[in-house]
Amino acid sequence: MRGLMPAHHEASTDTSAATALDLGAAQEALAAGDAGLCIRLAEPLLSRPEQAEAARGLLAAAHERLSEQQAAAGEHALALQHYRLFHRFHVEGLLQRLARSEGENDRGLTDALTGLATREALELRLPSMMQQALGNGRGLCLVRIELDPLQPARLGLSPGLGDAVLREIGALLRAHSRAKDLALRYAGETLVLVLSEIELAMARQACERIRRAVQGHDWAPLHEELRVSLSMGLTALRSGDTPELLLARAEAGLVSARRDGRNCVRTGVLS
């Protein structure tokens, strides 16, 4: 019975009910076309953990609508302000969902051989990394990396040697990547590196450091004659890119690296 409930429980119940009402009112305001009222109702809910994600989504939608309305009215400065707020809340929501997904799926997103992320991690994280880079204007580059045929050529037939080389390359790539980058095994002997907050010239230098590190690594413990090298295709994010287009341009760079004799870095250009 209500009379037997502790006072703190009653307060908690009342707060939850009020929060639910506030969220419902914000949703109704947005549905009715009153984006300004939606924002006023939703902003206080950001401080309530149980409602913050839903409030963030409402704020993103409301600011997007106001941006469109202001642009149509010729108020481009106001439209830009609302668009930036839309982008902020939208990206924050994506990052929150990503962090939750990573916590739930870490085991399934790590390649057992190389210790790098898997292709599934790229599909999950690349769109939000691209959106964040376009939002903050700090750049993003993607590199497709391919293990060149082992030298001498006869070593390519040695059982288990290819896996051992990939394991070492995985460790080298992790050592030369930053926490904000994404290094992964894409398929077979092909790897991908997504470099955050970097422009093309600096990304090329990072690629050259990795290429030289692999070439100069001590491979003798695996085989005294072994020589290993990488070919790389590099591209920088552009406005209007999709993940598929970004990967395709990097693949074009990798094709150029193969054509130019391998063991080099080439920038991808699509004809």
What is the DSSP annotation of 185-254?
Answer: EEETTEEEEEEES--HHHHHHHHHHHHHHHHTS--TTT-TT-B--EEEEEEE--TT--HHHHHHHHHHHH
Q: Is 189 a catalytic residue?
A: yes
Q: Pick the closest to residue 269 from 186, 226, 254, 153 (CA basis).
A: 254
Domain total of the chain: 2
Q: Bigger pLDDT: 46 or 198?
A: 198
Provide, rounded to the nearest whole percent, the portion of the chain with pLDDT above 70: 87
Last residue of a domain, one of 65, 81, 105: 105
State whether 257 and 140 are in the same domain: yes
CA distance 253 to 163: 25
Q: If you average pLDDT over residues 102-110, what whole number do you get?
A: 61
State whether 75 and 204 are in the same domain: no
Over residues 46-70, the pLDDT tens digits come to: 888 778 888 888 898 899 999 889 9
CA distance 262 to 269: 17
State whether 127 and 148 are in the same domain: yes
Last residue of a domain, one of 72, 105, 138: 105
Does residue 76 belong to any structural domain of this protein? Answer: yes
CA atoms within 13 A on the CB side of 53: 9
Last residue of a domain, one of 81, 105, 129: 105
What CATH number is given to the structural domain containing 228?
A: 3.30.70.270
For residue 11, give every residue at least 6 positions away whose Cβ sits within 8 Å of its Cβ, in sequence order, or none: none
Q: Which domain holds residue 14?
A: 7-105
Contact 45, 22 (CB under 8 A): yes
Which position has the token pair 């990939």?
Answer: 166
Contact 125, 142 (CB under 8 A): no
User: Is pLDDT above 60 for 4?
Assistant: no
Over residues 230-261, the pLDDT tens digits come to: 999 999 999 999 999 999 999 999 999 999 99
Element (H, E) at 266: strand 265-267
Write down the catalytic residue from 189, 208, 225, 244: 189
User: Is pLDDT above 90 for 212?
Assistant: yes
Q: Pick the closest to residue 182 from 96, 109, 260 (CA basis).
A: 109
State whether 169 and 255 are in the same domain: yes
Over residues 259-271, the pLDDT tens digits come to: 999 999 999 988 7
User: Exposed, middle or buried: residue 159 (CB in 10 Å: 0-12, 13-18, 19+)?
Assistant: exposed
